[in-house]
Chains A and B, each alone.
Chain A
């Protein structure tokens, strides 16, 4: 035979080295984003009881929406329930660190915000949390992206990303779509 079996295996090993380099490049790029830009998949692992969610302090109706917390963190708290988001519209500033905390009293939901990397599942029993900086302004769509029942298709909210100077919290630190100047 013109080509020995060892030569075949050698060519395969060389190819395996090429494959290893490609996989390594991808992993290094992922690691760069993770360490230099603190990019992680949302992995909060924080428990909250869906059965008593409406009795809780943080996710009580009056506390939902965007608020600049006393420590200066900008946090939007949103309930995903069959079949709407409460509130239906949240205001957040561009180019600033913001946190979105979501949870549900009923079944599995999920969100993405169009044109951004904001994306998380919302699983009953947990507070899903996304930290991000919005890079552009405007009204973005925040649909429910996991099947949650027959009204799933109509479940959608708006994220209003405003320039930082137009983000004006009231005395309590709250900003809502209604009171935008």
Chain B
């Protein structure tokens, strides 16, 4: 690949994938920066203050671009780039299919541009959830499909990288970091089936005008198939960092390698058959299936609760190895000045709030208290911004030296950036929880502040706007920190990062913890029972269809 061989003078990266990884992650970061700035404007527009360019059309265009950039572009490109990095550095051998990986990258770029231009032109203001019968220009959806196809190529490269390594190293455990990355690839293939079916069989034909009607219940159900697991797709790199990067950065060991494998397997199993909890308030599903999926959702909280303990114990090992004593002395002994350690601490704090909000959301009838209010917006911003993005930032800080061949001269701007991100996120989302409980609803361009109830929300909306401004500053500082390393860092960085070692490094593991054959069968069983009838009902008792409403 010419693109792979062209190398900026001065960069001394030793990795074969360094250009590939850097290209992916810079695309992710560009989308992220744009989305952060749009987010600030959206909060300004919703506040009692007067925002420029504030029309309904502009607002929903902006929300769509914000959602698509954050949820589809930032995440997919980051995960692909980080996955390639892991495949090369964990397996210690060249990535198979480097040319194919570049092909997938350009496919993703084409898709991203198609979707972005559709949104900017105003022909796709349907938000990133694009619920039919509102329908955008077909090019918006085709762009998204291309991004998904690019990610499928990534999945195959990851799976084969692991299989071929295992064939050459019989009996050896796949390194945890690679096992987890491939778990994400396997889960993503399952995850995208729902939205791919919705787009290919329902939405794109409707957008082209081949179908004048659409079965809305079916489309929402297929989207829900994807909607929960996609969040775990985004979260996987964060958990990978918790298990395989944080303990090393803190100067200790991972408490248990087996628990790490189990946690990732539980995510693979239980993040899929739970999507109906997004449709808890929908009239097209019965309460029995909703409860079944609530029950399975309760099980998907288990790996996170297990992770809290395993990672805290790993932190305790590091703290004690650094001389911390007593029941809590190890906390202070941790090297909080290192970005990965700081980010992990802040991420867990935000995960506490975001996960707690999630426990409320999933609680069956209790979902009615908060559904489609700002509470939900706060919940997923804490999960996404608080746990996903802050760990992406920490991962970037960890791997950037090995990608550029340069070390950070000064870690202070890195810490400042992470702290600002944390403060901004808490200041923005805590008022949203409060407003959501009072009934402030989502996805509106403007509020009537002359209404007495809404009037009392005004000050809190302004507080959250301040949080948003802090976040935007942090995002720009993040871009600056990484961009500067390409030019100004200290030469002589290590060629690759080392991943954390467990207290007892596994010598051999059961086949089930070294591959995904068993788990794929169990996922199929879970999906069959959790989604079988909820999808089949639309074909057995076809509901009346709705007329397609074109927007753009």
Which residues from chain A sit less than 8 Å from chain B, CB to CB? 1, 3, 5, 8-9, 11-12, 15-16, 19-20, 22-23, 26-27, 29-30, 33-34, 39-51, 106-108, 110, 112-115, 117-129, 141, 143-153, 156
Contacts and interface: CB of A to CB of B under 8 A. Distances in A.
Given A50-B547, A115-B439, A119-B371, 19 more contacts: A8-B255, A8-B256, A22-B305, A23-B301, A26-B298, A34-B364, A41-B364, A47-B544, A48-B544, A106-B546, A108-B131, A121-B282, A121-B372, A123-B284, A141-B454, A145-B371, A148-B134, A152-B60, A153-B447
30 contacts: A1-B503, A1-B504, A5-B503, A26-B298, A30-B365, A40-B364, A42-B281, A45-B285, A45-B286, A51-B546, A108-B220, A110-B372, A115-B439, A119-B371, A120-B368, A121-B283, A123-B216, A124-B133, A125-B215, A125-B284, A125-B543, A128-B283, A129-B283, A143-B444, A145-B373, A145-B443, A152-B56, A153-B444, A153-B447, A156-B448
Interface stretch (B11-19, B170-178, B198-206, B287-295): B287-295
B477 interface: no
Contacts of A148: 134
Nearest to B298: A23
Contact of B256 (A9, A39, A40, A128): A9
A154 to B, nearest CB: 8
Interface of B: 56-57, 59-60, 125-127, 131, 133-134, 215-217, 220, 255-256, 258-259, 279-287, 290-291, 294-295, 298-299, 301-302, 305-306, 309-310, 313, 359, 363-369, 371-373, 438-439, 441-448, 451, 453-454, 503-504, 541, 543-547, 549, 551
Nearest to B130: A147
B60 A150 contact: yes
A130 to B, nearest CB: 8
Residue among B280, B369, B441 with most chain A CB within 10 A: B441
Contact of B368 (A44, A115, A117, A127): A117
Given A27-B298, A43-B286, A123-B216, A50 B256 contact: no
A123 B56 contact: no
Contacts of A1: 503-504
Given A41-B367, A42-B281, A125-B284, A152 B298 contact: no
A152 B444 contact: yes
A39 B365 contact: yes
B372 A50 contact: no
Contact of B259 (A3, A12, A22, A30): A12
B453 A114 contact: yes
Nearest to B57: A150
A44 B286 CA distance: 7
If over half of B's interface residues share one DSSP class (helix, strand or loop), that class is named, otherwise mixed; here it is mixed
A118 B286 CA distance: 18
Contact of A118 (B220, B368, B545): B368
Nearest to A138: B453
Contacts of A42: 281, 283, 368
Residue among A19, A42, A147 with most chain B CB within 10 A: A147
Residue among A23, A44, A50, A123 with most chain B CB within 10 A: A123
B283 A19 contact: no
A51 B544 CA distance: 8
Residue among B216, B446, B454 with most chain A CB within 10 A: B216
A122 B281 CA distance: 9
A148 B549 CA distance: 10
B325 to A, nearest CB: 16
A56 to B, nearest CB: 11
Nearest to B133: A107
B546 A125 contact: yes
Contacts of A152: 56, 60, 443-445
B441 A8 contact: no
Contacts of B282: 43, 121, 123
Residue among B286, B544, B545 with most chain A CB within 10 A: B544
Contacts of B131: 107-108, 146-147
